[in-house]
Structure 1
Amino acid sequence: MSADVFAKKRRNSLLLFLIVGVATIVSIIITEYNVAKGFTSVPKAVQWALSNFYPTMDSLAKLPDILVKLKETLLISIAATTVAAVLAFIFAVLGSNTTKVNRFFGSISRGIAILFRNIDVSVWSMVLLFSFGQSSFTGYFALFFGSFGFLTRAFIETIDEVSGSSVEALQATGATYLTVISQSVIPSTIPQMISWVLFMIETNIRNATLVGLLTGSGIGFTFNLYYKSLNYDIASLVVITIIISILCIEFISNYVRRMIL
């Protein structure tokens, strides 16, 4: 019996690799992508970067302005994530199979989460440009909507997995709905939810660079400005500050995760 299962899994794996391989070949043919030219261009790209894309002593004069824009981007990312997390928790409680009020509210909450989660932040940025134009508000709401969809889904799964037994125990004693939420759901899920929020903050800081390119705000716009004006030394300094900030945020979030989990 186990041999048959192993053989079936092997056939399915081979079939999957075959489908992926065929899809790759068809994509190359349709797009007329030159694979050989793509690989041979890598050394040239590295050589150009080493020759042009590095900060100089003159570019360091722009560092204070870059740090101001970086701070703006970090604050927008954190604010969008934390506000989205609060709203996502409410929708997750209503959408979870463990704590939903009724089937109608549960379906509505899950449907909203699926809708927002499957629209990329770049798409939100382009849509919101028509309402707010190129401004920090556009970047904030783009990150907010993307965070809300992802966190709602993550919180729903967390509530269903972590607090199911304790919720049933409290409900069996006749506890009210708010008591169940405050005494069971929040205490049992808060560490995992904080971990999801930290992950979303890291993701949003990365996404904020792309959002800034589209919305004309933050560190992304600063990079785009210097890169298009051929000031590659300053543009490289912007990239370095982004990388350092992401590494610092990741270090902090990993430390917090180790403390709470």
Structure 2
Amino acid sequence: MTESPKPDFEGLRARHPEVFDRPLSARLATPTMMIAAFSVFVFGLIDLEFSPSRFFSGLHQLGWIALMMIPPDPGSSLPVYLVALGETLSIALLGTTLAAVFALPVSLLAARNIVPSSIFRFPVRRFLDSIRGVDTLIWALVWINVVGLGPFAGVLAIAVADFGAFGKLFSEAIEAADRKQVEGIRASGGNALHEIRFGLMPQVLPVIAGQVLYFIESNTRSATIIGIVGAGGIGLQLAEQIRVLEWQKVSFLILMILVAVAAIDWISSKLRFAIIGRRAVV
């Protein structure tokens, strides 16, 4: 058998000196970053007073609470809990829908292929960043002080928080759209509005619909959390039962939330596949 020719390392070194003779700073960059990350991790454990003994001693308390949750029992409050669950689902659905409706036109202004000038596009993007940078729970606390306790504050909190997220996601979907369809509309004599309506929207609407469906599922959990701070829904009931140590009712409420989220996930997945299938046929 003939031996395979040996690689010409000297020739490779001569042609690609940047690979073989990397500067010292480049060779030390990765280990320096790893050491820095590990140092920050250790500092965080010390600064936050992480204690393994406290953690393992707390497991005993956690086990006692888990035993107290069995069996789940709503008592005589099942009708109240069903109304509260419906309120939570309504908060998630209405808040997400409002956010999507208002974010779609703003996302057009944030898309590079719609507004080429960065002078006009930059403030829109930074505005969306500032809205998105505040968590839903913080918006809930703000709106509770503005409009008072109740589900209306929860709807506004989810709508405002998702407005920033949708603005970014929708604008990225618009920028990723195929330009050939837009150019075809322009070649046939269409104006800028025709390009958006018939060239861009048919491409991005299935993507947008899938994102909205996912956010409805996610916001069901968010609506539960903001309900704890007074925005209504099943989260308020959950906080009250934890406060009075009614652990069987707490476990029943958690099961209701899990079933609701699983059902919404199943429905939204079916809708997403239906939308994708219709898009493929078109």
- The number of residues matched between the two structures is 258
Over 3 Å counting, the alpha-carbon distance change for 1:18 and 1:167 in structure 2 is: farther
Aligned partners of 2:153 and 2:231 also within 8 Å: no
Aligned partners of 1:98 and 1:167 also within 8 Å: no
State the superposition RMSD in angstroms: 2.5
| CA–CA distance in structure 2, aligned partners of residues 12 and 140 of structure 1 | 47
Question: How far does residue 19 in structure 1 lie from its aligned partner after superposition?
Answer: 2.5
* 1:250 and 2:262 aligned: no
**50, 55, 60: which one pairs with 1:44?**
60
CA shift digits 1:189-233 (9 cap, x unpaired): 111111110111111111111111112411111100111011111
Name which of structure 1's ranges 188-197 and 14-23 shifts more when overlaid on structure 2: 14-23
**26, 30, 33: which one pairs with 2:43?**
26
Letter in 2 for 1:113: L
| CA–CA distance in structure 1, aligned partners of residues 27 and 157 of structure 2 | 43
1:142-181 equivalences under 5 Å are 142-181=157-196
TM-score, normalised via structure 1 length: 0.89
| CA–CA distance in structure 2, aligned partners of residues 32 and 185 of structure 1 | 53
| CA–CA distance in structure 1, aligned partners of residues 88 and 17 of structure 2 | 54
Aligned partners of 1:163 and 1:189 also within 8 Å: no
**244, 251, 254: which one pairs with 1:236?**
251
Aligned partners of 1:97 and 1:106 also within 8 Å: yes
Aligned partners of 2:140 and 2:231 also within 8 Å: no
Percent sequence identity is 25
The corresponding residue for 1:188 is: 203
Over 3 Å counting, the alpha-carbon distance change for 1:240 and 1:3 in structure 2 is: farther
Letter in 1 for 2:134: I
**30, 47, 52: which one pairs with 1:35?**
52
Question: How far does residue 34 in structure 1 lie from its aligned partner after superposition?
Answer: 0.9
CA shift digits 1:60-90 (9 cap, x unpaired): 4322211110111101111111121011110
Over 3 Å counting, the alpha-carbon distance change for 1:162 and 1:55 in structure 2 is: farther
Structure 2 stretches lacking a partner, 5+ long? 1-15, 277-282
Letter in 2 for 1:114: D
Over 3 Å counting, the alpha-carbon distance change for 1:216 and 1:231 in structure 2 is: farther
Aligned partners of 1:128 and 1:142 also within 8 Å: yes
Aligned partners of 1:54 and 1:237 also within 8 Å: no
**99, 106, 114: which one pairs with 1:91?**
106
* 1:198 and 2:198 aligned: no
Give the helix-richer structure, 1 or 2. 1
Aligned partners of 2:110 and 2:124 also within 8 Å: yes
TM-score, normalised via structure 2 length: 0.82
Question: How far does residue 17 in structure 1 lie from its aligned partner after superposition?
Answer: 3.3
Question: How far does residue 16 in structure 1 lie from its aligned partner after superposition?
Answer: 3.7
- Larger-Rg structure: 2
Letter in 2 for 1:48: W
Letter in 1 for 2:67: S
Over 3 Å counting, the alpha-carbon distance change for 1:2 and 1:174 in structure 2 is: farther
